[in-house]
Chains A and B, each alone.
Chain A
Amino acid sequence: MKGLVPIVAAMALLGAVPVATSSNVVLNFLVVALLIALVGQGWNLLGGYGGQYSFGHAAFFGTGAYVTAILQVRYGVNAWLGFAAGIAAGALVGAVIGALSFRSGLKGSYFALVTLAFAEVLRIVASVAPITGAGVGTLVKLDLRSEAFQFQSRAPYYWIALCLVGVSLMLVRAIEGSRFGAYLVAVRENEDAAQALGVNTTLVKLVAMTISAAIAATGGCFYVQYFLFVDAGIAYGPWISIEALLVPIVGGVGMVFGPLLGALVVKTLGELAKLVTGDAPGLDLVIYGCVLIAVVSVAPRGVAGVVLVLHRRIQALRIAPPPASERRDG
């Protein structure tokens, strides 16, 4: 239960933003940050907790996006149902890619490359297949009714994105405190040892990948409802795969709040970079790269890691006088 307090507090804090401001610039910025945080949380479950570094979360994001869009546009399915179907489809793609790669024992960079390859294949297929609108993409018709998952103002989108992030935080927190979570971390740390202790490592990785894919797909579904447009480059392009792994790494890999913190930091930096670099395209990506290098070399556990260390130091100071603080655990 005590693990839920910070989540509820963070949600309450962020939930108050639209009350304080109705600025579309601020809300738009935060909606995108929350969307990236959501996809990053999906990556974090598989990569941060399970140690399986995917470079192709676009495969799930894009599947969620396309399924939501296509069901509405071509089959007239209700947007909310399309949303749910998109999540399920993303999870299915995760399960299939997971089964194929884990059953053949792919690990480390091989796993990363295979996930990248799957995402690229899907991107190419989506850019020629008629059902996705091929190169033109798929446009969702404007229909500003809540039944159609479309709203007049930004605030409802913001609250929905916040709720989705809140659910993902609680889900990952619950997994963290469960047997499945302990097994997942054990797989990350040492697969052979985990096996010897009775952990069906292939199954654990597969389940983690399925949940991870479902979370990433949720981001894709939301993207479509927010921007009402999707094409192959947006859905399956490498940009989202990179964002998905960048934000948890910057924020704190394998930590519940890592992706959210990372998304806020990275998106803020991105906006600042755009201000500084003006309209030189791609320069903000250079800054992303530099941030990633800096984080990996200076603070490998990211922003959350730094916060955690500071928090412990302050606690240690409060509990015991400085000289004795190091013996606190003994």
Chain B
Amino acid sequence: MAEPLLRVEQVSKRFGGLLALDRVSFIAQPGRIVALIGPNGAGKTTLFSIIAGCLPASEGRIVYDGDPIDGERPYQLARRGIARTFQIAQPFAGLTVHENIAVGAHLSRPARREALAAAAAIAREVGLGDLLDRPAATLTVAGRKRLELARALATGPRLLLLDEVLAGLNPTEIHDMLPVIRAICSRGVTIVMIEHVMQAVMCLAEHVFVLSEGRVIAEGPPQAIVTDPLVVEAYLGRGAAHRMVAAGTGHA
């Protein structure tokens, strides 16, 4: 197997007495989509914040492309090729869609003209081509999620961390977004996504890690994960898997 692009090793995070992450390890293989799922409060966003350099880890280390990256600032990580989206979209509200994306595009393009041209191309790619001159503040939730994606993509990342880019979208909007994400992956960008929309996880991810109460409780291909009793219990409570099986056989 190829060397993973991202390797999270035994990362723990304490907030005072609360152990938010307990020796979490996971890897992302280059060019693949990995999903990180788990019930609310499992520590998914905390883990993302640590990988993206927004929070320091209490223990453990993170290796990206062979280099340890713990302790680096978010902008340094962005320059290494790690881009992230925010769970709650953070547009530059006073700027247009075009200008928003251009900020990302400037990372590798010092000239304004080139950055704007690249931004326009990326906007078309994620379906914002018609909204270039709209102020970002006037976008719908779906539009803001696309903008998050476009801006991150404009930095030319090798690793893209997507924090619930599908949350808050209606089924049609989710349906429109899936091919966009798949197209990004097919260009060779490695994607780690936190997602609650299981339909999307099932159809996009090749490998799923399940986080519950700060620990990785299961991992594997999505089909195996949804039938894993540990995972079912993490979401529905202890004994749920057993009761479901019992109910199933009872009806048969």
Contact = CB atoms under 8 A, between A and B. Distances in A.
Interface of A: 177-179, 182-183, 185-186, 188-190, 192-201, 329-330
A251 B220 CA distance: 61
Given A182-B112, A186-B95, 20 more contacts: A178-B112, A179-B110, A182-B102, A182-B106, A185-B92, A185-B94, A185-B95, A185-B99, A189-B93, A190-B93, A194-B92, A195-B73, A196-B78, A196-B86, A197-B75, A197-B83, A197-B104, A198-B79, A198-B107, A330-B130
B176 interface: no
21 contacts: A177-B112, A182-B99, A183-B106, A185-B95, A185-B99, A186-B92, A186-B103, A190-B91, A190-B92, A195-B73, A195-B74, A196-B52, A196-B74, A197-B104, A198-B75, A198-B104, A198-B107, A199-B75, A200-B73, A329-B134, A330-B130
Q: Give the contact-size bracket for chain B.
A: 20 to 34
A179 B115 CA distance: 9
B90 A193 contact: yes
B112 A193 contact: no
A177 B54 CA distance: 30
Contacts of B104: 197-198
Contact of A197 (B93, B109, B130, B155): B155
Contacts of B106: 179, 182-183
Contact of B84 (A182, A196, A200, A330): A196
B75 A182 contact: no
Interface in B102-121: 102-104, 106-107, 109-112, 115
Contacts of A193: 86, 90-92, 151
| The 6 residue pairs across chains A and B that have the minimum distance between CB atoms | A198-B78, A189-B92, A193-B90, A198-B107, A195-B74, A186-B103
A193 B136 CA distance: 13
B133 interface: yes
Nearest to A330: B130
Interface string B48-81: 0000101000000000000000000111001100
Interface of B: 52, 54, 73-75, 78-79, 83-84, 86, 90-95, 99, 102-104, 106-107, 109-112, 115, 130, 133-134, 151-152, 154-155
B133 A329 contact: yes
Contact of A200 (B52, B75, B115, B154): B75
Nearest to A203: B75
Contacts of A194: 92, 103
Residue among A190, A195, A197 facing the most chain B CB atoms (10 A cut-off): A197
Nearest to B79: A198
Contacts of B78: 195-198
A330 B83 CA distance: 30
Contacts of B130: 330
A292 B69 CA distance: 48
B151 A179 contact: no
B133 A189 contact: no
B103 A183 contact: yes
A310 B220 CA distance: 60
Nearest to A189: B92
Residue among B79, B92, B134 facing the most chain A CB atoms (10 A cut-off): B92
Nearest to A185: B95
Nearest to A177: B112
A190 B151 CA distance: 13
Nearest to B52: A196
A329 B138 CA distance: 13
